[in-house]
Structures are given as C-alpha cells and as structure tokens.
Chain A
Amino acid sequence: MGVLGEAWTWLTTGANWSGESGAGHRLGEHLYVSGVSLVLACAIALPVALYLGHIGKGGALAVNLSNVGRAIPVFAVLALFMVSPLRNAGYVPTIIALVLFAVPPLLTNAYVGMTEVDRSVAEAARGMGMSGGQLFVRVELPLAYPMIMTGLRSAAVQVIATATIAAMVGQGGLGRIITAGFNTYNTPQVVAGALLVAVLALAVEAVLVGLDRALSPLRRRRTA
C-alpha cells in the first residue's frame, strides 16, 4: 500500500499537474491523440467493413486482418516514423501508428457483426420489397450495431493503453509521466502514470457504454 499511497500523493500534488510536462498537459495530449486516432480509424474501418458485410464478400480478408494487426509492433512503427521526415510533424506519427493499430479490430468486429445478421431476416426484408440500401439501413445496421459498438469499445481501450508507447520515442501523452518516473527511479510516479491511463481508459469505456445505451436502435424500438 506504501507505493499506492505515494502515488496518490503524487497525483494530488498540484505542481505535478502544471506546466508543459505536467499531468494536465499530458492528459490533454493523450486524449487528443487517442481521440483523433479512433475517429480516423472508424472513418476508415467502418465503411469498408459494413460494405463488405453488406455484399457478403471479403470474409477471409476481414478475419485475417485482425491477426495481422496484432503482429504490428507499435513501437517499431513509431520508431520508423521518428527516423523519417515525419518526426517533425507533431502528433502525426503517433496518430498514424495508432490508426494502423485500431483499424483491424474495428473492421473485424463490424464485419462479423454484419455477417451474423440472421440471413432469414434479410431474406424477409428483401421479400417485403426493401432495396439494398433500405435493407442495410433498417435491418442489417441495427442488428449489427451491438457488435460494432463492442469493437469500438475494445479498440478505444486498446488505443488509450497503447498511446503510452509514444513516450518511448519521445512523443507526448501520459506515457511520458511513466518514462520520466522510470528514468528517475520514481516508482510512485510510474504508478500514478499507469493509474491515470487506466482511469482514462475506464472513463472512456463508461462514456461509450452510456452512448451505446442512448443510441442503441433496438432499445429505442422497444421503448417506443
């Protein structure tokens, strides 16, 4: 409990939160980098996955991609960017690396969600005279929605946890608190940094669960 107590002291010391390398600024950087990466990853992965799921093709690609994604060492990708001219582009290297990391799970989950839509329901919708677009918007998307949100939530948590690796190549984010503590043998600071990342991940997860509840198409249908 000693280290946790000291970490708490570190977290509640105002001086640790202020300034360029303070926890406040690092938290902002972390949120910004993770948020932008997640939005970009969604913008890339979801249309592809939903389209492939709708036409029912490209299954092998969608499934294997998630395995390829796990094989990408984020540290190596970041390092490659840092020795290229991209190193002068601010947060861009971190964001690209995180997008590469987040696309595969998003794509796979959304695709699996689309293919698990009961075929007989889709057939019935077609029999009722729905066009491809209507089928997609009014049947497939609502039924695939829970799986898409599951993918989004796990991608968000992973992106937030992985964004710390940016600190290993000198980029910003909460990882810098951990590396700074590591380099000065300040274990309470390492714990404090890890706690901040974990709390951020849990908070984002809670927000997404809330959004899920508010937006879920099936739930709305049921209450109406």
Chain B
Amino acid sequence: MFDFETLRIIWWAILIFLVCGFAVMDGFDLGIGMLLPFLGKTDAERRVMLNTIGPTWEGNQTWLVTLGGISFGAWSLVYATLFSGAYTGMLALLFGLFLRPVGFDYRSKLPNPRWRSAWDWALFAGGLVPAVVLSLAAGNVIIGLPFQLDNELRSSFSGGFWDLFQPFALLCVVVGLSLLCLHGAVFLHWRTEAALAERARRVIVYSALMFVVSFSVAGIWIAFSLDGYRITSAIDTRIITPLLSKTVVKANGLWMNNYSTYPWLMLSPTFAIIGAGLVVFLSAKRHTGLAFISSSLVVVCVILTAAGSMFPFMIPSSSSPVSSLTVWDASASLYTMKLLFFATVLLMPIVMAYTVWVYRILRGKVTLADIEKNQHVLY
C-alpha cells in the first residue's frame, strides 16, 4: 500500500505528532508544577492548582512514555543514540519525573504542613527539571550531538554532561521554560477562579513576552550564526541508506535551507509569535478556553518550526557529520514500520477519544470550596 519513502515520511510525521501531543498535553502539567510554590499562596490554593490536573496528568505523561516506545520501535538508532549520548541528562530527566507520581499521590495524604511543603517543592522540581532537560536536549539536537558510529553501528561519544550547556541550548531552555509557564498559566486561568486565576493571568503576560523575545532571538541565531547540516550525496529513498555511506556538510545557516526551498514553512514560526500575542489578548478578554487553544497552537508551532528546519535530519552529529541519523537511514524495517503504522492508526484515535471523554467528565473550574468539601478525597 505504501512505498518505503512515503512510509518513512509518515513515520517522521507521527513522531513529530507525538512530540506535539506530549508538549501540549503534559506541557501545562509541567508548567503548573513550576508555578506551584509561587502562585499558590496557601495550602488550599496549591491544592486547587494540583487538582486542576490531578486526575489527568498521568495520562498526559503517557505521551512521553509512548513517544519513547514509538521512537524505540520506528527509529531505534535515534532512541538509542539520544538516550545514551545524553546519559546523565536523561537520568536527570528521569529523576525529575520520579517526583511527580509520588508527589501528587502522597502530598495531601498527611496534614503536616512541612510534609506538604516538601512535596510542593518536589513537584516544583518535577516540573522544572524535565522542562529544562527536554529543552536542553532539543537545543543540543539542533546543534548536533558529538557522536560517531563505528563499522558495527555502535555509537560512541565525545563530550560529557556539562557540554550540553552550550549557549544556544541555554537559550532553548529559556524558550522552553517561558513557553511551558505560559501554557500552564493559561490552563490555570481557565480552570481556576478569583485571586489565583488573576495571578495566573499576570504570569501569562510576562511569560508570553519572554517567549516571543527568546524565540525570535533563537530564530535569528539559527539563521545567521548557527551551524546547520545538509546531505550532499544522492539518496535512494526507497531503501535504508547504509549509514556512513552518505556525505554531509555542516555549515553556518544551513538550517534555513528548507525555509528557502519551501517558504510556506515560515508559517509555523509566524503563527508561534502571533499565537502568543493572541493568548495574551484572549486572556485579557477572559476567553480562557480559546486562550488555551491558542497556547496549544503556539506549542505545536514551536515544535514544527524546529522539525521543519531540520528535516530529514533526526540527530545530526557535530563531531562526525557522516554519522548523522536521518529519516533515510535510521528507520526500522519496512515490515515493522507497516505493522506499527496500522497499530498506531488503530489505537491512537481510541486513546484520544477516551481522553476527551475523561476531560469532559472532569470539566469545570476547581474551587476552594471543592477542596474544603472533599479534603479527604482530593490531592
């Protein structure tokens, strides 16, 4: 039904779709985690914040878990190289994620204020650390990771944990954190009321501003002074290109190549910036639900901006460009990709359908009165 070329482009799109799904769905959970100690002035307010996402955050995080599984299945070399290449970073991400399930479930099981405050900070770290590591990883993937593949396709790395903290990657962290704080604050503004909602609205304004500035700077940086990559040899897209058989150049501004070939790609960065303005406008007008749709759009456009500029590269290698992993050489076999394609097309709509159903059941604002009434039941 599909040829290998089309199938791999579809699989690249599915991967991007899952990244977007994770960033939109779990992005506001991470943002709320980061905002928890600052926006919630009292224990009850913090409980309001936690319970806006309490019943659903776990399903949202599953987007990340599934993203891991899908990349393992469809792009195993990408999964293996990223996870082992950024070993210490990935473990920091993991340890950050540890704090969330236990944080949500255990925090309000005891009334002791010190216990609760400790868990609030744990949940803060559980939001901040994953957000930082993931943005840092995204930045480093754009820069290229220092890895090379040997003849048996075993990858080895030069550079350790602290090498991840490059200036451009740090700028990506600023983009990521402001974006997720924005997304989280928009969700809070939508699902809470009174003083808490008002505080969330102020966060929206500042984080939107910060996002627009840092995102624009990152764009200019990529266009003018960051090395991009390009395949220079002919590629037979019908087969898996033997790795190490292609030639790749690395040079300033190459990440803009796709944008000059397909100018319509500029729509995604443009919409990201317009969308951020729209979020501020809609929040000021108290169209909180629409504001959430807009901030989701911003999140998606940011990811598409990066993905669009990098295609067909998945993880470029800065130290050995020929080892770079691309759509044409890092995929699973045709048979596996077909099977997994049918599984995904069958299962993901079901997942999304029941997720919508669950959100419908739990719709409406969480209030201080709810917390008071259900204090032994809620998080």
A and B from one assembly? no
